[in-house]
């Protein structure tokens, strides 16, 4: 029944509610219930009115349907929440909270707006309570009761929100990788020509149409539909995507209506001028689409171009997942930061190209020195980061030492046919269970610093409590 929340959370909340209920005197609870019964409509009005003052909230609440439904369900919600007398009634109220949380997640209501809603309601109820005939002590108890109960309700709502959000994010991710697995160069061509098609159709309509004819909108074109529906999943997060949508709106909502107006008035030179502006915006659209597809190719491969190692932008996702695996399965992992010694000197003495070749060969040695389940990232210019999964400290130090000796022993080829011996310094840190992976990276960095300070070409473990 409570599938969106872990059983433990449900139980904690239930117990908290029981404690709250026991703690609040009967008189205080009855007063709150009466206030809600008498003023719930006015509260819903005030809530809605207050929220509509904010443009961000307005975006979610402005439709008539939302108004009507929100108004009714807000009143129902207040009544249900404050009239719970039994465990069963509370469970029903909780189910309602979870439902609201899931709706918020689907609609993507920002969490700050929800928090503001809670504040507005607490404030209102507090105001009515202050004007009630309750004595001082009971008034305090009633205010605490309202405050805690609303907090509890929002707690349930937020956990449902988060659970549902994570589900959506996983589905989105799966869809994105499915879509990017499709033939992207074909898609790029298809969208390019769809945009061109629309542009031609627009020019055709302008030239042969009758005054008063509707001009074809770009958002209604095959390109526009693709961009608004499929591309939003595919290019999620790309900065160009928002600009593309803005340009499409500017064409449809400003330039085309003006163009139709001037066409109706027979003002052809103005029409030509406006079409030029449309063409300029289409040119910009084409450029942005190209750049979005380019990014997608980068993302698709996920590799650093020079070394073919993992790109560091995946590091947060991978470290967060490894922290989670350690937490749930108790399998610790180790982090190695590997830095080529005196690399600047290699560049200076043999040229940048030689430096690049050294980096490629070091990367290959690193990749060949770990198991296929480990992760090797290019972390910075001449710095690499390795995640050794399911690893204890002794074995991690052994792997680090193996890497160090292999690199030192292997002469690396440089561009002019020459060979070069390079060394690396390595900092080793074990995940200590702290969920913030940046701490772990910092500890490995501290160990690396000590390896450099200690003379380079060496491996150093992190010191316990290095950044406690």
Ligand X SMILES: Nc1nc2c(ncn2[C@@H]2O[C@H](COP(=O)(O)OP(=O)(O)OP(=O)(O)O)[C@@H](O)[C@H]2O)c(=O)[nH]1
33 part of the interface to ligand X, by CB under 6 A:
no
Q: Are 211 and 262 in contact (CB under 8 A)?
A: no
Cβ distance 5 to 160 under 8 Å?
A: yes
Q: Please, which of residues 257-296 interact with ligand X by CB under 6 A?
A: none
Among 342, 393, 406, 439, binds ligand X (CB under 6 A): 342
Phi and psi torsions of 311, nearest 5°: -75, 145
CA distance 30 to 25: 9
Distance CA 226, CA 243 (A): 15
Q: Is 304 in the site for ligand X (CB under 6 A)?
A: no
Neighbouring CB atoms inside 10 A of 243's CB total: 15
Exposed (0-12), middle (13-18) or buried (19+): which is 314, by Cβ within 10 Å? middle
Q: Which stretch binds ligand X (CB under 6 A): 39-47, 96-104, 132-140, 338-346?
A: 338-346
Q: Per rule CB under 6 A, is residue 411 in the interface with ligand X?
A: no
Minimal distance, residue 403 CB to ligand X, in Å: 16
Could you say which residues in the range 133-192 bind ligand X, by CB under 6 A? none
Which segment (8-16, 215-223, 341-349, 395-403) binds ligand X by CB under 6 A? Answer: 341-349
Residues with Cβ within 8 Å of 183's Cβ and at least 6 positions away in sequence, in order, are none
Q: Is 452 a binder of ligand X (CB under 6 A)?
A: yes
Determine which residue in the list 199, 240, 304, 339 makes contact with ligand X, applying CB under 6 A. 339
Which is nearer to ligand X, 27 or 351 (by Cβ)? 351
CB nearer to ligand X: pick between 71 and 452: 452
Q: Which residue among 73, 179, 180, 347 contacts ligand X (CB under 6 A)?
A: 347
Binding mask 348-377 for ligand X (x = CB under 6 A): ----x--xx--x------------------
421 binds ligand X (CB under 6 A): no
Q: Which single residue brings its beta carbon nearest to ligand X?
A: 381
Q: Which C-beta is closer to ligand X: that of 169 or that of 349? A: 349
- Reference 45, options 67, 23, 13, 27; nearest CA is 67
Q: How many residues bind to ligand X according to rule CB under 6 A? A: 17
Query: Quick one: which of 181, 255, 188 has its CA closest to 218?
Result: 255
* 220/231 Cα distance (integer angstroms): 15
Contact 32, 142 (CB under 8 A): yes
Q: How far is the CB of 101 from ligand X (least distance, A)?
A: 46
Check if the beta carbon of residue 437 is closer than 8 Å to that of residue 312. Answer: no
Residues engaged in binding ligand X (CB under 6 A):
306, 339-345, 347, 352, 355-356, 359, 381-382, 452, 456
């Amino acid at each position: 029944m409570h599938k969106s929340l872990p059983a433990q959370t449900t139980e904690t909340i239930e117990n908290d509610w029981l404690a709250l209920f026991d703690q609040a005197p009967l008189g205080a609870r009855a007063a709150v219930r009466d206030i809600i019964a008498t003023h719930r409509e006015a509260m819903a009005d005030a809530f809605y009115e207050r929220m509509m003052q904010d443009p961000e909230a307005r975006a979610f609440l402005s439709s008539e349907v939302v108004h009507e439904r929100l108004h009714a369900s807000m009143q129902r919600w207040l009544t249900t929440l404050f009239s719970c007398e039994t465990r069963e009634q509370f469970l029903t109220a909780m189910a309602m909270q979870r439902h609201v949380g899931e709706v918020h997640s689907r609609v993507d209501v920002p969490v700050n707006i929800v928090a503001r809603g809670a504040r507005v309601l607490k404030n209102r109820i507090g105001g009515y309570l202050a004007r009630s005939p309750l004595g001082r002590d009971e008034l305090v108890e009633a205010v605490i009761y309202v405050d805690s109960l609303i907090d509890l309700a929002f707690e349930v709502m937020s956990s449902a929100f988060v659970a549902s959000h994570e589900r959506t994010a996983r589905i989105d991710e799966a869809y994105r990788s499915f879509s990017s697995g499709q033939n992207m160069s074909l898609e790029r061509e298809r969208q390019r020509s769809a945009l061109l098609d629309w542009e031609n159709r627009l020019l055709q309509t302008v030239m042969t149409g009758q005054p008063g004819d509707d001009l074809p909108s770009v958002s209604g074109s095959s390109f526009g539909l693709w961009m608004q529906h499929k591309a939003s999943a595919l290019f999620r997060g790309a900065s160009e995507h928002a600009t593309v949508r803005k340009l499409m709106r500017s064409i449809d909502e400003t330039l085309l209506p003006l163009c139709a107006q001037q066409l109706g008035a027979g003002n052809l030179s103005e029409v030509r001028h406006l079409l030029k502006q449309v063409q300029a915006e289409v040119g910009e659209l084409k450029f942005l689409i190209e750049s979005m597809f380019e990014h997608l190719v980068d993302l698709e491969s996920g590799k650093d171009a020079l070394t073919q190692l993992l790109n560091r932008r995946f590091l947060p996702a991978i470290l967060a997942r490894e922290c989670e695996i350690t937490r749930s399965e108790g399998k610790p992992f180790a982090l190695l930061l590997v830095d080529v010694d005196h690399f600047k000197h290699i560049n200076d003495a043999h040229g940048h190209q030689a430096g690049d070749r050294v980096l490629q060969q070091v990367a290959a040695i690193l990749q060949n020195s770990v198991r296929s389940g480990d992760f090797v990232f290019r972390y910075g210019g001449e710095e690499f980061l390795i995640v050794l999964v399911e690893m204890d400290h002794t074995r991690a130090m052994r792997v680090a030492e193996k890497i160090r000796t292999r690199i030192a022993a292997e002469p690396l080829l440089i561009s002019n046919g020459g060979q070069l011996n390079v060394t690396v310094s390595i900092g080793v840190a074990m995940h200590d269970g702290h969920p913030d992976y940046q701490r772990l990276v910092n500890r490995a960095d501290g160990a690396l610093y000590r390896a450099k300070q200690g003379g380079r070409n060496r491996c150093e473990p992190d010191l316990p409590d290095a950044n406690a």
